Amino acid sequence: MTALVTFGETMLRLSPPRGERLETAREFEVQAGGAESNVAVAAARLGRDAAWFSKLPDSPLGRRVVGELRSHGVDTDGVVWDDDHRQGLYYLEHGVAPRPTNVVYDRADAAVTTLETVEIDLDAVRDADVCYTSGITPALSETLRATTADVLAEAQDAGTTTAFDLNYRTKLWDPAVAAEAYRDLFGSIDVLFAAQRDAETVLGREGDAESIARGLADDFDFETVVVTRGADGSLALFDGDVYEQGVYEAETHDAIGTGDAFVGGFLAKHLAGGDVAESLQWASATASFKRTVEGDVAVVTPEDIERVVADEGDGISR
């Protein structure tokens, strides 16, 4: 039985060498990257049985995505192959002050936008301990919005814990449309991860992280709400109790995927029987570790995380 199944789009990420621009670079480094597979990679590397599914073109590009995820130990048997649509890409130009990091999506008409519920192995979802996706998935097409709702509802009905990160992306949709889609899904979600910024700008929540978490739990009956606050750490609300966690110090090499590593670390520890405080520690340590590594995913081992947690205790707020 798979402990964790995640689903969503994974793109190929093309980035010029640091200090070069998209307009003029002659070389691009290529890696697979997508929020939900990033979570699966972190959990798999931290010792959990993790699977990811999506719809990919049956082409060298789609096979490249699968090959990379497998190399990290993620089960990709549930991938649906497609002959008619394309592989999504994203271009990443790393920023250096005063030039900001720039992300350019080239993902319209990607195969995953056509993924329908009937194509999915729902038994794998029903049999998993946790099923995870993020707010990026329903943003990609109306079809995928309906599929996301179906999969989360099927999972929850079967007793699988459902987990969801708001993961609001301004380049994909407007806040009002996103908020409506989120609210449609919230009834099928047990564990909500929300950046405080997303809760404020998309869901219109106000106040500190604790009052945001309590408000969301009360309004939508989540079992657990985790609110992340960037450099100010994170907070989880479970069973009426609040748990706080600082960030661990890290020299940032590549910040993309930090939030996904956080979720992957949290779920990995949770699935290993950790309590909320321990899961938050692992989340924070995995996120900080990710920042030291180039690429979307946390190339990490359980020993790395145990060492960070042992050395730094409850985390250091920067």
Interface residues with ligand KDG (CB under 6 A) are 33-35, 38, 90, 136, 169, 256-257, 259-260, 296
* Nearer to ligand KDG (CB atom), residue 256 or residue 305: 256
For the chain, helix, strand, coil in percent to 5 are 40, 20, 40
Catalytic residue among 190, 254, 260, 296: 260
Which of 129, 314, 144, 134 shows the shortest CA–CA distance to 234? 314
Residue 167 region, left (φ>0) first, then alpha (ψ -120 to 50), else beta? left
* Residue 84 falls in the annotated catalytic set: no
Q: Nearer Cβ to ligand KDG, position 146 or 172?
A: 172
Q: Name which of 25 and 172 has its Cβ closer to ligand KDG.
A: 172
Least Cβ distance, residue 169 to ligand KDG (angstroms) = 5
Shortest Å, Cβ 127 to ligand KDG: 26
Peptide bond into 100 cis (omega under 30): no
Please, which residue, 166 or 276, has the CB nearer to ligand KDG?
A: 166
292: left (phi over 0), alpha (psi -120 to 50) or beta: alpha
Q: How far is the CB of 9 from ligand KDG (least distance, A)?
A: 6
Angle of CA points 193, 40, 36, to nearest 5°? 55
Q: Which is nearer to ligand KDG, 217 or 227 (CB)?
A: 227
Strands (E), the chain: 4-7, 11-15, 29-33, 50-53, 55-57, 80-82, 89-93, 102-106, 130-134, 161-165, 191-195, 224-228, 234-238, 241-245
User: Cα 304 to chain center, whole Å?
Assistant: 20
- By the 8 A CB rule, do 94 and 254 touch? yes
**Residue 158 beta carbon to ligand KDG: minimum distance, rounded to whole angstroms:** 27
Beta strands 130-134 and 4-7 are parallel
State the minimum distance, in angstroms, from the CB of residue 284 to ligand KDG.
16
| Residues recognised as catalytic | 260
